[in-house]
Each structure stands twice: as structure tokens, then as C-alpha cells.
Amino acid sequence: MESYQSRYRDLWTKGDYDNDRENDSAYVTIGHLQKDSGKVFIRFNHLIPSIELPDEFNRVAHLENVNDIDNDGGCEIYLVAIRERSCSATGFLYTMKNRQWKIVREVEQDGCCGFTAMDYVTLLGKNRFKISYREAGNEFSKYYVGTFN
């Protein structure tokens, strides 16, 4: 039987997100309880807090461990979330500081171009990173280069 990990490999990733030298798992869930119905979460094991996406997003197309950009021992995480009934999406680069997730960068992009299991974020050296994305109506990839602070 196909494992959850291989079937949803774009929506499941491993890494040490809280810098305790143990690998953690991250995966996407949709809330079903009344208070969080339809909300999208990135959940973790090992008591790591969840990431809760804003209400306008109803699914995640891609989830990626991007390794440790700022060299503090914890891996950063990147996800692309798609807006309900729309072809617009936002990529979010998150880092954990003091056990709280913080957004490092948001990148607006095309949500209908199709996403693959490739890496969308590349490290360019300490504190520097590159995010690949597609704009609506543009078939070529674009790059955003950023610094971590």
C-alpha cells in the first residue's frame, strides 16, 4: 500500500524545526471542528506549535523544509497556500523563534500553474535565500532573493 508520505510527499516534510537535534514531522491538515472548520493548518509532532493560515486560503500546494537559513540550528519551512476559488497563491517562509512561528517573507504568485516536489527555496549562503515562483500569465519562473534578519 502506498504510504501517506509518498502519496502526499508535497504536503509532508521532515526536519529539526525546534533545534533539539531530533527530526520533526510537518504535515497539512484541514480543520473539521466547528471552531476551525475549513481552516488550514500545518501541524507538527513533538509539541511544536501549529501554523494556522489566514481564512482566505483553503489549501496548501507545497510544503518544504528549506534547512537552516540563519544558522540558529532550527530549520525554516516554506509553503505555498492557494486562495479559495482563485488562481492566486502566496508563498510563506516561516522561522521559529522562542517557540513561535514568524513569517520571514511572503511571495505572491500564480496558484494555478501546478506545483511539483522540487525545492522552491535555495540557500545562497548564510542569511541569504532565493525563492522560485511563477507569476500569473507568465510561463517563466521568477526569483525573489532575500536576506534573513
Residues 6 or more apart whose CB falls under 8 angstroms from that of 101 comprise 49, 51, 94, 95
Which string of x and - marks every residue 28-67 that binds Ca ion (by CB under 5 A)? ----------------------------------------
Q: Does 102 bind Ca ion (CB under 5 A)?
A: no
- Nearer to Ca ion by Cβ, of 77 and 82: the residue is 77
Q: Does 68 bind Ca ion (CB under 5 A)?
A: yes
Q: Does 119 bind Ca ion (CB under 5 A)?
A: no
Q: Which one of 4-12, 14-22, 81-89, 122-130 is the stretch in contact with Ca ion (CB under 5 A)? A: 14-22
Q: Does 16 bind Ca ion (CB under 5 A)?
A: yes
3-state secondary structure 19-75: CCCCCEEEEEEECCCHHHCCCEEEEECCCCCCEECCCCEEEEEEEEEEECCCCCCCC
Helix (H) or strand (E) holding 149: none
CB of 39 to Ca ion, least distance (A): 25
SS3 content of the chain, % helix, strand, coil (to 5): 5, 50, 40
CB of 43 to Ca ion, least distance (A): 14
Report the interface residues with Ca ion, using CB under 5 A.
16, 18, 20, 22, 24, 68, 70, 72, 74
